[in-house]
Amino acid sequence: MRYPLSFAQEWALSRPAVLSHATWLDGPVDPAALRRAMDVVVARHPVLRTHVTASGEQVVSETGRVVLEHVVLPGDVARAESTAAELAERPFDLSREPLARAAVIEVGAGRWLFALVAHRVVADASTLAMLLADLSTVYRGGLSELPPSWMDYGDYAVWQRERLRGEELARQLAHWREVLRDAPAPVRLPAGHRAASLTAVADPTAVRRLAAVAEGTGATLLAAFLAAYAVVLSRYAGRADVVVGAPVSGRTRVELEPIAGPFADVVPVRVPLAGEPSFAELLVRVRDAAAQAVSHDEVPLGVLVEELGVGLSDAVRFTFPPPATPALDLPGVTVRSRVALSDAATADLDLRVDEHGALTLEHRTDPGFADWVLRSVVAVLEHATADSAVSELPVPAPEDTWSAVVEPSPAEPSPNGAVRSAAAEAAEPEADVSPVPARGEIEQAMAKTWADLLRRPGRVGVRDNLFGLGGGSLAAVRFASIVADTYGVTLPLPLIFASPTVAALAEFVSAELEAARAARDVEADQAARLARLSDDELDDLLRAVVATRERRRSTGGDGR
């Protein structure tokens, strides 16, 4: 079955590629039973049998499997974890299902590492939790089947696109157009680094005090944490207006909760700090902004960017509450610890809090900057009272010089699909401002195609990194489709990501066209030679062919 991509799938194609889950298990695990359970789960959820075409559709196969590998590495914990990491790092070919893989790695008697990896075009965090729950149910009960979902994810994609258009889309956009009028551009964060996390705990007395302040304003303690975060971002950016992304499940109706697939999204929460508010007054603003954002979460962030033409980014987030960590629940088996397999961070700065005052800052930015942000949030929380003037709340002086110059546009994906902040780009040498011109017809056409896809003014140089100019996986899929329609040559998506320049891709296309021409020349030459044979020569040739076939038949295929 063919379906359009959902908006979440389009957005996922330009984000970090995979979701991963890995946990150490102690106890009697039966790999064969777990493999059978995986087959049952895949049969229930069609999205696990889905691939993406070059034309930007999703295709669901009637049958298919997610292979669960059983690897035996006696006593080698380090190698087991590196094997699981390789499972997550191995790229997916979007044009072939499955876009998920799993392994159970045995290192000793009753000691196992279970790993599950899925591309974001077929799963989100809630989907991984759903799959683990289904795996556990089937394994525990020895079931041979599960009841099918009432709706396939592909049907949801059709419904979503039908719903979010015309008058309904205009109605929902009207709210966001007003909320985001004159919204500030995304703030540039310091140069990016590998994903990492920091933790802190606010003073319990301060947490109780803030809980009372929040209750007095009709807000929640989580709103107080977001207010403190906004104060710090405001000081860093030097502006009295900040926009923070708040992750939402994207399952906007209860009927969608049992459907596997990517739904998760981010809604922009705009926090105004102008006018010398007290902390209590800021809490009211945060309360109202967050409630409005969450109640209008049906329009995906990508659609807001495209339809409203505003510079939104999900690089700065506030996650409340932190998502629960899913795990397998197998009889007699204990979950010991979780293993981080990949750079799973989806934002450059993501503050996660709980109601007890525990804070975790996941980040892909300068470690010193991240430490300053977290310490600053804690300082604001521990000094804020209802009557505190927001402008006078203490924020520690930064120990380094960081530029908060705003980005001219949202963060751009890197060649591997991971979002890079503009600050990371600024830390690299500047690109050649004089693009290398196209040298031939194919290069000229392909450069124009990429520029058209990005709606980019000016010339695309043949040696420019195409993903550095903008776009992402979806642009690559569309680019490959146009090349196939124009030249009849299939550009493998892994090649586009590995060699993302017009020069390299045009060379591949030229070589394929030359090989096709050579093959046609050989066929034409053979046809011409046959045409010149006399009838007697054709009879001799036919008898030789028949004799060769007879020899092969009598010798079991050996034609000598």
CATH number at residue 225: 3.30.559.30
pLDDT at 546 (0 to 100): 82
Query: Does one domain contain both 151 and 195?
Result: no
We report the CATH number of the domain holding residue 450 as 1.10.1200.10
Which pLDDT band holds residue 209 (cuts at 50, 70, 90)? very high
Mean pLDDT of 429-447: 66
pLDDT at 170 (0 to 100): 93
Query: Does one domain contain both 216 and 363?
Result: yes
pLDDT at 12 (0 to 100): 83
**Mutual angle of helices 221-237 and 279-295, in 10-degree steps:** 100
Q: Taken in order 297, 303, 309, 312, is the CA torsion positive or negative?
A: positive
Query: Does one domain contain both 150 and 191?
Result: no
Residue 131 included in any domain:
yes
Contact present, 236 and 256 (Cβ < 8 Å): no
Q: Which two tokens stand for residue 224?
A: 């107080």
Q: Mark which of 99, 134, 155 sits at the end of a domain.
A: 155
Query: Does one domain contain both 249 and 321?
Result: yes
Mean pLDDT of 93-117: 94
- State pTM to two decimals: 0.72
Tell which phi-psi region holds residue 90, choosing left (phi > 0), alpha (psi between -120 and 50) or beta. Answer: beta
Which pLDDT band holds residue 126 (cuts at 50, 70, 90)? very high
Report the candidate in 36, 21, 31 with the shortest Cα–Cα distance to residue 70.
Answer: 31
Length of the chain in terms of residues written:
560
Residue 423 included in any domain:
no
Query: Does one domain contain both 200 and 253?
Result: yes
Residue 389 included in any domain:
no
| pLDDT of 361 higher than 90 | yes
Residue 353 included in any domain:
yes
Kind of pairing between the strands at 100-108 and 68-72 = parallel
Q: Taken in order 324, 84, 120, 346, is the CA torsion positive or negative?
A: positive
- Name which residue leads in pLDDT, 87 or 522: 87
Query: Does one domain contain both 190 and 145?
Result: no
Residue 79 included in any domain:
yes
Query: Does one domain contain both 44 and 138?
Result: yes
Residue 304 included in any domain:
yes
Query: Does one domain contain both 200 and 132?
Result: no
pLDDT at 45 (0 to 100): 95
Highest mean pLDDT among 188-192, 310-314, 352-356, 382-386: 382-386
pLDDT at 214 (0 to 100): 95
Domain of residue 455 covers 437-559
Q: What is the dihedral of CA 311, 315, 318, 320, to 10 degrees?
A: 110
DSSP 394: -
pLDDT at 34 (0 to 100): 96
Residue 429 included in any domain:
no
- Name which residue leads in pLDDT, 128 or 428: 128
173 CB neighbour count, 10 Å cutoff? 18
Query: Does one domain contain both 39 and 133?
Result: yes
Mean pLDDT of 50-78: 92
| pLDDT of 412 higher than 70 | no
Query: Does one domain contain both 253 and 378?
Result: yes
Q: Which two tokens stand for residue 69?
A: 């590998």
Query: Does one domain contain both 297 and 443?
Result: no
We report the CATH number of the domain holding residue 129 as 3.30.559.10
Q: Mark which of 155, 172, 199 sits at the end of a domain.
A: 155
Query: Does one domain contain both 197 and 338?
Result: yes
Which pLDDT band holds residue 15 (cuts at 50, 70, 90)? low
Lowest average pLDDT, out of 135-149, 240-254, 437-451, 504-518, goes to 437-451
Residue 415 included in any domain:
no
Q: Mark which of 155, 172, 207 sits at the end of a domain.
A: 155
Q: What angle do CA 158, 122, 317 make, to 5 degrees?
A: 100
The CA distance from 455 to 457, in Å, is 7
The CA distance from 444 to 478, in Å, is 17
The domain tally of the chain equals: 3
